[in-house]
Structure 1
Amino acid sequence: MEIRLRTDDDAPALVAILTDVHERDGYPVRRTNVRREWLWDDSFVGAWVATCDGAVVGHVALADGFAGPGVPDGALGISRLFVAPRANGRGAGAALLDAARTAVGDRPLGLEVTDTPTAARALYERLGWRRVGEAEAGWADLDGRHPHLTYFMAP
């Protein structure tokens, strides 16, 4: 597994992976977010991809201004973290999180997760991320429900 900075050339592979992830896991919640522009958000201060045997298999970005219950001021946030279904269980998610943690240095790093991706929660807890707060999302899912969010901070 190799982690490197994301490039514009990665867009087609990332959108294809995100399509598979959306169909399997419902992430992102809205199918309309399965597009390059969603992955290249202007608020990101860095983005990386995981590759295996030269093929892109995962993505993570860092967003500035991450906030939520229990999140300290000045925190950066994990965003757009996903791994191709064919690469699950091969360490890509953990490697991407490690790259982001290394990049932030001493700044606090957090993430939020909805109440449905139990595998993601298990990964964060296994890697030592700690729960610091909970809230109702300010956005609605496709059923008009405001999902329950749990906030985690990096160890």
Structure 2
Amino acid sequence: MQIRPRTDDDAPVLVAVLAEVHERDGYPVRRINVRREWLWDDGFVGAWVAVDDGAVVGHVALADHFAGPGVPLGALGISRLFVAPSANGRGAGAALLDAARSATGDRPLGLEVTDSSTAARALYERLGWHRVGEGVAEWADLDGRHPHLTYYVAP
């Protein structure tokens, strides 16, 4: 598994992979977010892709500001983390998280995850991320509910 900085040329394949993830896992929650603009947010300070056997199979971005219950002030945030269904179990998610973490310097790193994302929560906990708080999302899911969120910080 190779991790490298994301480039503009990665956009078409990343959107296609994100569409697969949306169909399988419901991430992102809204189908309208399966698009380049959602992945290339101005608030990101870095983004990386996972490449397996020459194919882009995953993505992570690093947001400049991240806050939540129990998250230290000044934290950076993991955002837009996803892995192609065909690459699950090959270490892409862990490698992407490591790449983002290595770019944080001495700043803390956090993330949030919905309670319905059991596989993601299991990954974070297996990698030693610390559960630091809980809250309710400001955004609503497709049923109009505000999902319960769990906040983690990197070890």
Question: Which one-letter code corresponds to 1:118 in the other structure?
Answer: T
Aligned to 1:111: 111
- Return the TM-score normalized by structure 1: 0.99
Q: Number of aligned pairs?
A: 155
**Aligned-partner Cα distance in 2 for 1:65–1:104:** 12
- Structure 1 SS opposite 2:50: strand
The answer on 1:153 being equivalent to 2:118 is: no
Alignment of 1:74-113 (within 5 A): 74-113=74-113
Aligned to 2:66: 66
Question: Which one-letter code corresponds to 1:37 in the other structure?
Answer: E
Aligned to 2:144: 144
Question: Shift of the alpha carbon at 1:14?
Answer: 0.2
Alignment of 1:124-143 (within 5 A): 124-143=124-143
Question: Shift of the alpha carbon at 1:108?
Answer: 0.1
Gaps of 5+ in 1: none
- Structure 1 SS opposite 2:138: coil
Gaps of 5+ in 2: none
- Return the TM-score normalized by structure 2: 0.99
Question: Which one-letter code corresponds to 1:150 in the other structure?
Answer: T
- Structure 1 SS opposite 2:124: helix
Question: How large is the Cα RMSD of the aligned pairs?
Answer: 0.4
**Aligned-partner Cα distance in 2 for 1:31–1:78:** 21
**Aligned-partner Cα distance in 1 for 2:17–2:124:** 21
- Structure 2 SS opposite 1:104: coil
Aligned to 1:27: 27
